[in-house]
Structure 1
Amino acid sequence: MKKEFKAEAKKVMDLMINSIYTNKEIFLRELISNGSDAIDKLYYMDLKSDNPTNKDNYYIELIPNENERTLTIRDTGIGMNEEDLVDNLGTIAKSGTEAFRESVKSSDLNELIGQFGVGFYSAFMVADRIVVETKKFGEDKAYKWESENAEGFEISESKKATPGTDITLYLKESGEDFDYDQFIDQYRLRELVNRYSNYIRYPIKMLVTKTRVAEDSTEDDPKYEDYKDYDVLNSDKPIWKKDKKDLSDEDYENFYMESRYGFDKPLSWIHFNVEGLVNVRGLIYIPQKAPFDYYSKDYKKGLELYSHGVKIMEKSEDIVDDAYSFVKGVVESDDIKLNISRETLQQDRQVMLIAKQVNKKIKTHLEGLLKNDRDKYETFFKEFGNNIKASIYESYGSKKEDLQDLLLFYSLREDKLISLKEYKDNMKSTNTEILYAVGDSIDKIKSTPALAMVEEGRDVLLLDQRIDEFLIKMLRDYKDLAFKSINQDDSEEKEENEETEVKGLIDFIKENTPDDVVDVKLSDKIKDLPSMIKQRGDVSIEMEKTLKGQVSPVRIKADKVLEINKSSKAYELLTKAYEDDQEKAKEITSLLYDQARLIEGLDIEDPVQFTKNIWKLI
């Protein structure tokens, strides 16, 4: 007798078949997982039985039939009776697995029972008729459940002799839009099992066609014959569930390359198992090189996510912080709650706890490399350090405390990369600031005139990445040590520029330099250069250079302080010209300002006039 799906089930089923599942091939993952759940239930019963089932009889089998265009998924699990068929396959939102978990009310079932819903209905994406033959363990009668185009179902008695369930899908006709015949191709089925169900705990078998040398084959007349034999399509225990002591570096490296996480060997890896409010295990890799699309909008961060041996997501973004978007690998937790399609995680407390554990493991591992394997850490930081910097900057400094000790900067005194902690540990107790200089390259920064004005013995961090100065602004300080640029003018420090005899000259220079020159000072600390520029305020000279390349209706400029070397020949010429020939004094002022800009890597407004001024004064 034909029965109708319950009204609410019909609506949800239509949505599920046509909308929730984004990929038709997912149906195989769902049916294999349901088969695994059914075997789990029988296994649990066997634990309490005096006459348990032979474990060799636990398996899932795929049976493709090219002539009939059918695919059968067989499991040797607990099976169903008529009541189970109505409850589990007649009501879309009911999960036999969840009901079973509730009935046993045992906290030790996490390793036994899946949490999945009735993904069975995803099969209607590829089949227009489904036949389920099933026999419940310990009962005499077997039953057949049939549905065509998900319009209703019929239940009748069956002749199935052994416990378990056979689900036979009568595939839709292939057309230009989609090839349904792929689901009876043994190579395609093998590929799908490998992709989604490779680590199901029970063997997934399929009778496949193989070729061997025929018995009557000779060296002169070689002959071959086809034969049928069973292959197990899934792997054994996944590497992240194995004991570390049983694995070699080669095992980890092979899995990295087999999983296509990268083409070279990984730099390092984290193999972990955490038990607590949520149980998490995984294997996470730090690559040696960034993938080619790492800095493009097409790159997607995330780790493969498994639950109960089933791959739930190819890239779970929610469990990896942006700071660690470079990691590759896999995480598994049987505590994950899933939505009805298994393709989208519910944003619940378990997911947050998993993310917390994963990110903590990554950070701890990087800290260990920094402490115990400096060369390897520096290799990592040169490749991915800007990612950590960007994470601090883009979080407006909220991730500062968590990430700042992973940062490295080039030290002038040490002539190598050092951490902020190392800078602090090496400085004098009387120093209250971390000095830094910014530029396009380490070599260019080393030649900046402001370094000559730094107290002897003080270390200076040389920042040669564009993001560095923006990062420093977000850091603000490190362990109560403020960051200070050596190019920053301290407006509270007054040179003796207010002397009557030079005040007029200072005013003259101000009048003959651009508006972004907010002050002029005379100095005897510049050594062998006639002049230099310092900055004042929040916008630095390097920021001005960086922002110049961005599309903006407003040109952002740093407030500049022009310092002139009182001991230079240029100053001597300027003072004499100021008294005798003010046109010449203007030319000298322009020349001093332009050459100071060039030293800082800034453009000059009129290169032709700059050249003329040089030749006029020679």
Structure 2
Amino acid sequence: MRAFKTESKKLLDLMINSIYTNKEIFLRELISNASDAVDKLNFKSLSDASMELADGDLAIRISVDEGVRTLTVSDNGIGMNADELERNLGTIAHSGSEEFKSENAESQGSEVDIIGQFGVGFYSAFMVAKHVRVVSRAFGSEEANAWDSDGLEGYTIEPAERAGHGTDVILTLRDDESAESGEAGEDYGRYLTEWTIKDLVRRYSNYVRYPIQMMVTKSRQKPKPEDAGDDYTPEWEDYKELETLNSMTPIWKKRAADVSQEDYDEFYKSSFHDFEAPLRTASFHAEGALEYDALLFIPGRAPFDLYSKDYEKGLALYSSNVLIMEKCADLLPDYYNFVRGVVDSQDVSLNISRETLQQNRQLRAIARRVEKKVTSELEDMRDNDREAYETFFDNFGRGLKYGIYSSYGMKADELADLLLFWSAREQKMVTLAEYAAAMPEGQQAIYYAAGDSRERLAKMPVVTGALSRGYDVLLLTADVDEFTFQAMREYVARDMPKVYEDDAARAAAEQAVADGAEPELEDRRIEFKNVAAGDVDLATDEEKEDAQRATKDNEALCDAMCASLDGKVEKVAVSARLTDAPACITTEGPLSLEMEKVLARGPEAASDDLPKSRRVLELNAKHPVFEKLVAAQEAGDTDKIGLYAGLLYDQALLVEGMLPEDPVAFAARVCELM
């Protein structure tokens, strides 16, 4: 027996017990090695005209013998002689495939797709096998040799018999382990079952370019005997048939013109376990310094766990048609976590186990291109298939908004134009660009109201007041909406009509257009304003003067009402924004009532340090209720002023969708008035 060197024994132990986290990938590694061996022979036939080799002759075969617990992976590839067995299997981390790639780097083309890199994948067999025997016969040789090892002390190489060129890797599986001390046992015998082998091949090696074949058991009905009577019961029999387990040609490497949308839909449904067809499909191929294929899908519905902590984003990553990671999270930003698909590249730098990736510029470059492609597809859907886009946004728009918020507005340039909000005036979903384009001359901000219901928001006094003055209001009903606007701070509206500093400049521009010139356009920065904020000024100069005068004339009344509310509001003032309602609550500062409600539902709700909005009770001086307040003040009836102040404040809270702080006291006030 030839002993492994001491260092090699330590390295082999690492191969078996530490590098790979998932035992079942051993079959992927052995199939990849077999594919490389077949590829090498195929390449040799391309450069040697004397070799007669048909593609149909090349295959990988899997067979099992449950009686002796062996699993065999065979190929009819290039094979190895005794020296090559010594060099490739006796020397850990020596990769014959990598050596082949280096020697033939200039002459390889698309006909050769070598997978191996590190020379350690073979040793993953010892994770499930207690003994491995490799029988190999080099192409053109009449002799075969066998490499035997238990993966512990060493290995032997001796002459053997094999009918033709190629390699057999024969694994004698470990004994099954029973559960101990509450830990699950290990069922190594499952790797001898047809179902398990089929599942592993289709999951990891479905797109290896050569057929992976296995004799499988099937059932068929026996022919009906000629003398059988009418009461004959059909009989069935099992039989064996050679079946190809893999599909070989990946759909993402076919030309888009050769694949129908039905084919893409079927691949999506079967691969990602969705019963609905995707809303959008994008397939592209990149060449140059980094070559890869990508097939992306935008789902038609959101998975039930999309916003749970257990949801895993990511694209399936393949290298040379072999699955490396089922979900590579680094290929997608969080706000595009709903995208599903495949990326296949032989250029990405894998780590030694091929289970995870090295963080490198190739991966980042692919991720940037994927992100741009997804953005482009969403923009095209938004502009040319609005109904489908609104369906998409209903499912996944929350993630786009959160992408802006979580990046503190840094992603606003990429995502802002993908957002949709409900327009109170248009009664439909609009983009920020569409809102800006419809703004009347002189409007300086994008106005919005935040709450839990469009219907309630549309009836709020501050909203109806803005609409009556000709300003549209976006109605925000998602809890992240207002936080998103706070993070964005402003929206850059492109190609807006130029705003001129004075009448002379405007007149000159209008004359230029009349003479045939193109209208001047500009990019305009427009801030976001909550219509319930205290600093929103939509009234005319006359309305503002009237409100200021009424506040000054009734200063004592306002102070008395503020005092009776005992710190619930910062102040009480006459409003210039109200039209029909007797009163409303506005806020000063960055925290609105709706943001306060959202925070109150969060994990810090019980904290005493939860921030509160700075509230202002605004009164409508033109409403009959105001006359009652003035009369109570003139009569010196402080009790009635306190009663009215509390009632108006609680009523305004209800309009905002918030419960009075003391519902019993509110009910008592109503009963007292009755």
Q: Report the TM-score, using the length of structure 2 for normalisation.
A: 0.87
CA distance in 2, matches of 1:539, 1:326: 31
CA distance in 1, matches of 2:575, 2:307: 45
Larger mean CA deviation between 175-184 and 489-498 belongs to: 489-498
In the alignment, what sits opposite 2:172? 170
Alignment of 1:519 with 2:571, yes or no, is: yes
Alignment of 1:418 with 2:459, yes or no, is: no
Q: Which amino acid aligns with 1:504?
A: A
- Which ranges in structure 1 are unaligned for 5 or more consecutive residues? none
Q: Show CA shifts across 1:19-77 (max 9, x none).
A: 22222221111100011011112222222111232322211111211222211111111
In the alignment, what sits opposite 2:392? 380
8 Å Cα contact 1:452-1:525 kept in structure 2: no
**How many residues matched?**
617
1:107–1:115: structure 2 CA closer, same or farther, 3 Å change rule?
farther
Q: Which amino acid aligns with 2:569?
A: V
CA distance in 1, matches of 2:2, 2:27: 26
Q: Show CA shifts across 1:449-481 (max 9, x none).
A: 002332632211111111111111011111011
Alignment partner of 1:349 out of 358, 361, 367: 361
CA distance in 2, matches of 1:586, 1:210: 87
CA distance in 2, matches of 1:500, 1:535: 20
Q: Show CA shifts across 1:149-207 (max 9, x none).
A: 43211112223342211111111112322222222222322222112111110011112
Alignment partner of 2:587 out of 535, 541, 544: 535
In the alignment, what sits opposite 2:80? 80
Q: Which amino acid aligns with 2:353?
A: S
8 Å Cα contact 1:278-1:335 kept in structure 2: yes
In the alignment, what sits opposite 2:260? 248
Q: Show CA shifts across 1:230-257 (max 9, x none).
A: 2111114122222222222322222222
8 Å Cα contact 1:534-1:563 kept in structure 2: yes
Alignment of 1:577 with 2:632, yes or no, is: yes
Q: Show CA shifts across 1:383-434 (max 9, x none).
A: 1110111111112212111111110001112110011111122223432211
Pairs within 5 Å for 1:408-487: 408-454=420-466, 456-479=469-492, 480-487=525-532
8 Å Cα contact 1:539-1:558 kept in structure 2: yes
Q: Report the TM-score, using the length of structure 1 for normalisation.
A: 0.95
Alignment of 1:125 with 2:148, yes or no, is: no
Alignment of 1:185 with 2:193, yes or no, is: yes
CA distance in 1, matches of 2:361, 2:108: 20
- Which ranges in structure 2 are unaligned for 5 or more consecutive residues? 179-184, 493-524, 538-543
CA distance in 1, matches of 2:479, 2:236: 66
Alignment partner of 2:155 out of 153, 156, 160: 153
CA distance in 1, matches of 2:562, 2:73: 86
State the SS of the aligned residue for 2:446: strand
Give 1:128 shift: 0.8
Larger mean CA deviation between 496-505 and 149-158 belongs to: 496-505
CA distance in 2, matches of 1:94, 1:434: 65
CA distance in 1, matches of 2:246, 2:259: 20
Give 1:448 shift: 0.6
1:612–1:159: structure 2 CA closer, same or farther, 3 Å change rule?
closer
Seq. identity, %: 44
8 Å Cα contact 1:261-1:328 kept in structure 2: no
Q: Which amino acid aligns with 1:390?
A: Y
State the SS of the aligned residue for 1:339: coil
Alignment of 1:96 with 2:114, yes or no, is: no
Alignment of 1:261 with 2:313, yes or no, is: no
State the SS of the aligned residue for 2:61: strand
Q: Which amino acid aligns with 2:253?
A: K
1:617–1:215: structure 2 CA closer, same or farther, 3 Å change rule?
closer
In the alignment, what sits opposite 1:318? 330
Larger mean CA deviation between 145-154 and 157-166 belongs to: 157-166
State the SS of the aligned residue for 2:207: coil
8 Å Cα contact 1:44-1:112 kept in structure 2: no
Superposition RMSD in Å = 2.2
Alignment partner of 1:591 out of 610, 634, 647: 647
Give 1:92 shift: 2.2
8 Å Cα contact 2:458-2:464 kept in structure 1: no
Q: Show CA shifts across 1:564-616 (max 9, x none).
A: 11112222121221122222222222222222222112222222332333343
Alignment of 1:54 with 2:66, yes or no, is: no
Give 1:98 shift: 1.5
Give 1:532 shift: 0.8
1:152–1:413: structure 2 CA closer, same or farther, 3 Å change rule?
same
In the alignment, what sits opposite 2:503? none
CA distance in 2, matches of 1:217, 1:260: 46
CA distance in 2, matches of 1:379, 1:500: 52
